[in-house]
Amino acid sequence: MIKPHGSDKLNPLYIQDENKRAKLAKEAEGLPSIVISSAAAANAVMLGGGYFNPLSGYMNLADAMSVSEKMQTVDGLFWPTPVLNVVKDASAIKDAKRIALRDPNVDGNPIMAIQDVVSIEKISDAQMKVMTEKVFGTTDPAHPGVNAFNTVGNIAISGPIQVLSYSYFATDFVGTYKTAYEIRDEMAKLGWEKVVAFQTRNPMHLAHEELCRMAYNTVKADGILIHMLLGKLKAGDIPADVRDAAIRKMAELYFEPNTVLVTGYGFDMLYAGPREAVLHAVFRQNCGCTHLIVGRDHAGVGDYYGPFDAQTIFDVIPNGALEIEIFKADHTAWSKKLNKVVMMRDVPDHTKDDFILLSGTKVREMLSNGQAPPKEFSRPEVAKILMEYYQSNRS
């Protein structure tokens, strides 16, 4: 395994000592508090689990602007996206030096973290525009990430945090939600040194499965980390519990024992394409993975990014900024000529008609009608789980 990003040792911000955590929770009840945004809550979960190593909390405006414009903090730490606690109204914590952060995603808004307030700064419209343009490559409000980023407020509360809760992730996804340090521990127990990570916010069809296998064999890895996003998605994306069941079934039936870890992490999707691909690499380095699979339109949405923008960004980041290596993948699909899944770039003699290609719309339509996609596209056991979901949600 490789060392974490920015430090020799992982520094998760979750308070693991039960007595200390109980004392902090009691203190938090007497502190000024604020209900934070879902994005800020997800940032707290990621800080707590070590995924955002070596950050100690939420960025101030100078760091957020520097990260957006140059992919590094004012002090020179490589980082691809701002990590902010932004609110619409900070009057409830005015002049407070220490505050409690309340979870927006759990009934009753329980306290999930304590923050030391270093600064409360207003972000100007011009600064919001710069950050949006640099991180998302567009300011189009129809972009789901742009919309989310620009509607939570413009007051940034910076400072270090102590995390007391992993929100709903630890309770709703028992056995799947894992922190970066838990993943490191599991991989160490398995004796894995070289590990390929696969990021997904969708169920995995046969092409995804084979892509993991291709990367595993190419880099001669000891194991594969299938790492699914469990946080907020855009409308129309398949819920995490359904995705989890489908992926677990595929891994159980079609991968060799002890070659795959199926896990998830608590973050809200940014849909930021290239910048988010780099953030995904940071997460996986902090998990100990040596390689990350980056495919076509990784972390993209709509037509905002070119098909390989999320790969070429790794060619322009500073040498040594990350230790993790990128496995650059092309689109994978079933070849009728070769009777197997192939990477399209590897078969220049093929035409479009030589592949079995189905659009997302077509697949959803088939599943909603109780029709399984062809076995060359999806494992029947996976299709069954997805059919049950779509049919139960038909209007």
Question: Catalytic residue positions?
Answer: 201-202
- Smallest CA-to-CA distance from 58 within 113, 139, 135, 136 is with 113
Q: Is the torsion defined by CA of 176, 182, 184, 186 positive or negative?
A: negative
3-state DSSP call for residue 276? helix
Residues 6+ positions from 334 with CB-CB distance below 8 Å: 206, 207, 340, 341, 342, 355, 356, 376, 377
Q: CB–CB of 283/322 below 8 Å? A: no
- Given the DSSP bridges, would you call strands 223-229 and 195-200 parallel, antiparallel or unpaired? parallel
Helices (H), the chain: 18-29, 38-48, 61-70, 125-136, 144-149, 169-172, 180-190, 206-218, 240-254, 274-287, 309-312, 360-368, 380-392
| Residue 201 identity | R
Phi, psi of 50 (to 5 degrees): 90, 0
3-state DSSP call for residue 52? coil
Region of 125 on the Ramachandran plot (φ > 0 left; ψ -120 to 50 alpha; else beta): alpha
- In the sheet with 355-356, reading across from the earlier edge strand, the strands are 340-343, 332-335, 355-356
Q: Which residues pair with 196 in a beta bridge?
A: 224, 291
